[in-house]
Amino acid sequence: MHFYSTRDPNRCPVPFREALLSGLAPDGGLYLPERVPRAEAAWREAQTLAALALPVLGPWLGGELGAAQLRAVAEDALTFPVPLRALGDGVYVLELFHGPTLSFKDVGARTMARLMNAFLAGRGERVTILVATSGDTGSAVADGFAGLGNLRVVLLYPKGKVSAVQERQLVHPRPGVRALAVAGDFDDCQRLVKAAFVDPELRALGLSSANSINLGRLLPQMLYYFWAVLSLASRYGETTPPVFCVPSGNLGNLTAGVLAAEMGLGVGRFVAAHNANDFFPGYLQLLYDPSAFKRTVATLSNAMDVGAPSNFERLHALLGEGARERIWGTSVSDAATLERLRATYEAYGYVACPHTAVGLEAAARYRAASGDERPVIVLATAHPAKFVDTVEGALGVALPKVPALEALQGPDAQAPVIAPQLGALRRALLSPF
Ligand SMILES: *Cc1c(COP(=O)(O)O)cnc(C)c1O
């Protein structure tokens, strides 16, 4: 199995290990395989999410990791349930938020961390993961990589620009993880990360990234698409290929779904559910060309506030113009998000997070526009308790306390504040922790 960069006309292939440990190709492109492998038929027999790793991820690794090692990686990473719930009227939610940091990002981050650790352990190497974060990614990466011997994590977040819950999740003490509060905004954090990657003085640290362009995070997300189709049949006796509706920002989640379909999973259609950051739905509707990336707009579903989706390049390389047949897209305003949050609670007694509400609204629009009556599975990407103010405000009810968040209460840990300059980051990275 080999991978090449979306930008490399010569298609110089690298093995999985290199794609995993470097994240981005040297030319700035994203890694894709020479061709998407088929899932092994045994996936239909899987009884757990982790048991899907061998038939679904195995073919991508091409033997670079043994079957026993891959199974151990998945079993250690995927320790939480992923229930499929029927809301009614053929609409289902796949709850991906029962992991330690309460968002679907736990699936990719935890699996990627253990894959990296398994590859590094064989060679006695160490790597430092450097991540700029404005929300869910940072805590999922911090939790996912904590305590793994061959990896350390440094998180950069913009001081005063993340929510109180998010900051508590980020600075929560974990072995091998250090959070740094940058006196600047998210763009400063991203600029510092880019500068650090090319800084000769930091080369010895073996810096790597953990964002959603890394195949190590993307590919494990395919597992829950397979799991959803299995659950639909076993729990609800429904064998029609479902429509998957995906609340989207960087398009990592959606790209994973498309890859699952390319592996042979029966999928009716994909719906890309975006907030006011509408580049991708606009592209699908022929309003924008591929280079028409936009500035980011702040919304209630802030984990999807992305003007220039980083996985678009990969999706475009995979599907080209065919994307417009396979994927239907829409952009949902904050007002429509709140309305759908309330309507879902009133109709089904179900409490969704704002991101999931964008998905539920998009699913309703898709059905109305297309007349497609196949089952729709909306990916529920975060726990509503992570967005307690928005959700309680919209519904006028108090949400039950969630143990994973309660555990973070108490005297607030403080992250050291650094100036938004490479010199300050360099000093912090080179000091031991
Ligand atoms: C990251 C995130 C998304 C967007 O996922 P992408 O893979 O970036 O498209 C949606 N919802 C939540 C809660 C997230 O944390």
Report whether pLDDT(191) > 90.
no
Quote the pLDDT of residue 427.
95
Report whether pLDDT(347) > 80.
yes
Report whether pLDDT(233) > 90.
yes
Domain regions of the chain by residue span:
80-104+218-404
Report whether pLDDT(412) > 80.
no
Q: What is the CATH number of domain 80-104+218-404?
A: 3.40.50.1100
Q: How far is the CA of 117 from the centre of ligand 1 (A)?
A: 24
**Angle separating helix axes 334-348 and 354-370, nearest 10 degrees:** 90
In this structure, are residues 399 and 392 in contact, taking their beta carbons and an 8 Å threshold?
yes
pLDDT averaged over the chain?
93
Q: pLDDT digits over 126-166, tens only?
A: 899 999 887 778 899 999 999 998 999 999 999 988 877 88
Q: How far is the CA of 122 from the centre of ligand 1 (A)?
A: 32
Comparison of pLDDT for 60 and 409, the residue scoring more = 60
| Atom number, ligand 1, closest to the C-alpha of residue 97 | 13
| Band of residue 332 on the pLDDT scale cut at 50, 70, 90 | very high
Phi, psi (deg, nearest 5) at residue 28? 90, 0
212 within ligand 1 shell (Cβ under 6 A): yes
| Band of residue 287 on the pLDDT scale cut at 50, 70, 90 | confident
With a pLDDT cut of 90, the percent of the chain lying above it is 74
262 within ligand 1 shell (Cβ under 6 A): no
Q: How far is the CA of 360 from the centre of ligand 1 (A)?
A: 15
Q: Give dist(CA 350, CA 393) in Å, integer.
A: 15
Report whether pLDDT(263) > 80.
yes
- Mind giving me the DSSP string for 293-323? -------SSGGG--SS-TTHHHHHHHHGGGH
Q: How far is the CA of 247 from the centre of ligand 1 (A)?
A: 7
Query: Mutate which of 131, 225, 250 to test ligand 1's pocket (most atoms within 8 Å of Cβ)?
Result: 250
Quote the pLDDT of residue 409.
64
Burial 340-354 (b: 16+ CB within 10 A, else e): bbeebbeebebbbbb
| Band of residue 203 on the pLDDT scale cut at 50, 70, 90 | confident
